[in-house]
Structure 1
Amino acid sequence: MCLLLGATGVGKTLLLKTAKYPYLRYFLKDNHAELGESPGTLPTVGTNLTDIVVHKIKITVRELGGCMGPIWPSYYRDCSSVIGSAFMVDAANTTQVSSSCIQLLSVLSAEALETTSVLILFNKVDIPCPMSLVEMKSLFRIDDIICARQPITVLGISARNGQGLQDVLKWLHSIQE
């Protein structure tokens, strides 16, 4: 099982829907597919379990709502057989960055996750925002935390338009092997 963590509104649910149903973003017009609207989502209250199939391997992702941050650690033990956890950050919401950084450091320092692969996702890179991916990495001091006990991968994505989704799926597949 893979945990998907992050503050409220960072795009966790949309990422899972886009990964599970990539065809929802397309519609047929004049016998060819065109990009459509992203699937609608509501903020997760509680948890969502989503199965995603990557190269014929079923991967279960448990998304924990951002409002559940204080009790995330109670779910870390469920990942003992895992695999990995993904931590998502809204790259367009500068007011949320400091709290997301603190949450990330808390996740990385959790003893139950010390050998778990971690994927840090900077979402909404498609939206014009005051900070670039390089600036976000610098603000989060990614180069300093890369020396954490667990293997860490960092990706910039857009859950809305699918940018970077293939890299996320590759990561999910690689941690299952």
Structure 2
Amino acid sequence: PESRGGRPEALGAGLRLSSGAGSGMCLLLGVTGVGKSLLVKRLQTILPSRDGKGDLGDPPPTRPTVGTNLTDIVAQKKITIRELGGCMGPIWSSYYGNCHSLLFMVDASNPTQLSASCVQLLGLLSAEELANASVLILFNKIDLPCYMTIEEMKSLIRLPDLIACAKQNITTLEISAWKGTGLSDVLRWLQDTHRTNG
């Protein structure tokens, strides 16, 4: 699918393996299974309603991403979200060029994955190519009864220390891509970030 007159709607996703640049490139990263693909599909669903308060319906089916998915979202301006599969962690750095913003997802219901996520986040924040990128850390799956609170996760990964040492502007949000909780805030962050930074 392609853009039709810049209407505020999702324009579709396709598998591409090139690292082509976009005017508003946003990287979406996180370990396997944190909900990256579902997040992108949900953002496409809430765009037409604008306020994100409508019923999103049942979550669409997803499967682990192998490779990279590019999705264009038109919300005031075009933002290209490049989702990289968690299994591609060792070569994520190949895609850092031209990155205006970074969405980093953490599974708030999986404490055993937290250390791996923390190591990845440290690597991203220390990457020279991402020094000017705005960063949004998304604590996903807060709909599950076993999720850790944002305070617990901030303490476990020493987030205040990370933020104090990082060059990037870092924001955090608790979301549920499954239920749609917090997704309008994600969209607003993307719009604000790419209005000033893209």
Decide: shared fold, TM above 0.5.
yes
Pair 1:12 & 2:48 matched:
no
Distance apart, 1:52 and its partner CA: 1.5
Q: Give the gaps of 5 or more residues in structure 2.
A: 1-24, 48-53
Give the number of aligned pairs: 165
**TM-score (structure 2 length as normaliser):** 0.79
> Partners of 2:147 and 2:103 in 1: how far apart?
24
> Partners of 1:162 and 1:53 in 2: how far apart?
19
Q: Report sequence identity in percent.
A: 62
**TM-score (structure 1 length as normaliser):** 0.88
Check 1:34–1:162 CA distance in 2 against 1; reply closer, same or farther (3 A cut): closer
Q: Give the gaps of 5 or more residues in structure 1.
A: 24-32
Distance apart, 1:167 and its partner CA: 0.8
User: 1:46-81: CA deviations, max 9, x gaps?
Assistant: 000011122x322110000000000001110142xx
> Partners of 2:169 and 2:158 in 1: how far apart?
16
Check 1:68–1:35 CA distance in 2 against 1; reply closer, same or farther (3 A cut): closer
> Partners of 1:129 and 1:61 in 2: how far apart?
29
> Partners of 1:40 and 1:61 in 2: how far apart?
19
Alignment of 1:144-163 (within 5 A): 144-147=161-164, 148-163=166-181
Q: How large is the Cα RMSD of the aligned pairs?
A: 1.7
Give the conservation status (yes or no) of the 8 Å contact 1:90–1:96: yes
Match of 1:140 among 157, 178, 197: 157
Give the conservation status (yes or no) of the 8 Å contact 1:4–1:62: yes
Alignment of 1:28-107 (within 5 A): 36-54=57-75, 56-79=76-99, 83-107=100-124
> Partners of 2:56 and 2:105 in 1: how far apart?
24
